[in-house]
Amino acid sequence: MNTDPNNPNANPSLHQGVNDEALPRDDADLLISRAVDGRTSAAEWVLLELAAAQDPGVWRRLAQAHRDQALLVKGVSRAVDVSDHIELPTPLEAERHASEGRSVLGRVRTWGGWAAAAMLVIAFVMQTRQGPSPSTTMPQSKPTEAGLLVSAADAFKTYLDKGKEEGRVLGEVPDQVLVDSRPAENGNGYDVVYVRQVVERARVADLYRFSHDEAGRATPVRLQARPAQGSQPTIY
């Protein structure tokens, strides 16, 4: 198959086994299809009525075709709407992806609305004198009342509870992001690699949004923040 994506003259032919013989102008399927697409002329409506006079099933097929098209639009939209969230990578990202194979983009599968939030490219920068960002610091384990954390799950729960007390942790995102999966080596179930996401709050001195200059280079742009009328800050 001629599908060279680097060749502008490539036009992959996937037309084998397809009947492209023109349908007669009064073919009922053609008339129904034109009606579904709102392309029927007055003369063609007459032809459709004549066809229906000979075969009353034509009206049922017309109704079915309308219904099928509505369902197809719905089904396709569900899949195609994701394209609205796929933006072009920068030239640098594209080259890195090309050189590193399929591991950079499209590796992480997401479910739920968190994907949209993840597309926000806002980085916060902590002043160095404040030390490292709390979001990049592993939570300090604290002993339980018994003096020991018995499992990673316990430690994580302790971190969530303590973080909520301090106002740093707002909660855990219920959607988990699947990174990889494979059958377990012993044949018992699957090994699943996934990301758990915790929403934290931190007060930072400055906010930067990455933009691109005329040369396409990523450039941080400082954002101005001032309190809104309510108590919530607004970013301008």
Partner 1 sequence: MDQQRTAGAGGVPAGQPPDQESLRALWQEHRRWVAAILLAHKPSWADVDDLLQEVAVAVVRKVGDLRDANSLKPWLRAVAINAANAAARGGKKRAASLDAIGDSVVAGRIADGGAVPDGPETVRIRDEAARLMTLAMQLPDGYREPLLMKAVQGMSYREIGEVLGLPETTVETRIARGRRMLRELAEAPETAKV
Select from 40, 44, 61, 139 the one that contacts partner 1 (CB under 8 A): 61
Q: At what angle do helices 57-80 and 42-54 cross, to 10 degrees?
A: 120
Nearer to partner 1, 96 or 142 (CB): 96
Residue 216 near residue 149 (C-beta atoms within 8 A): no
Distance CA 43, CA 35 (A): 12
The Cβ-side half-sphere exposure at 103, using a 13 Å CA radius, reads 3
Which positions from 31 through 50 interact with partner 1, judged by CB under 8 A?
Answer: 32-34, 36-37
Instruction: Supply the minimum distance, in Å, between the C-beta of residue 140 and partner 1.
Output: 28
- Regarding 22 and contact with partner 1 (CB under 8 A), the answer is yes
Which positions from 149 through 188 interact with partner 1, judged by CB under 8 A?
Answer: 174-176, 178, 181-183
H-helix or E-strand spanning residue 33: helix 28-36
Select from 167, 216, 220, 233 the one that contacts partner 1 (CB under 8 A): 216
Residues in contact with partner 1, counted by CB under 8 A, come to a total of 76
Nearer to partner 1, 69 or 130 (CB): 69
Select from 5, 38, 131, 230 the one that contacts partner 1 (CB under 8 A): 5
131 phi and psi, to 5 degrees? 85, 180
Which positions from 66 through 95 interact with partner 1, judged by CB under 8 A?
Answer: 68-69, 71-80, 82-91, 93-95
Distance CA 143, CA 162 (A): 12
How far, rounded to the nearest angstrom, does the alpha carbon of residue 38 sit from its chain's CA centroid? 33
Distance CA 162, CA 151 (A): 16
Nearer to partner 1, 34 or 162 (CB): 34
Q: Show the binding pattern over residues 101-140: x = contacts partner 1 (CB under 8 A), - = does not.
A: -x--xx--x-xx----------------------------
Nearer to partner 1, 77 or 232 (CB): 77
Distance CA 77, CA 86 (A): 15
Distance CA 73, CA 37 (A): 12
Instruction: Supply the minimum distance, in Å, between the C-beta of residue 171 and partner 1.
Output: 12
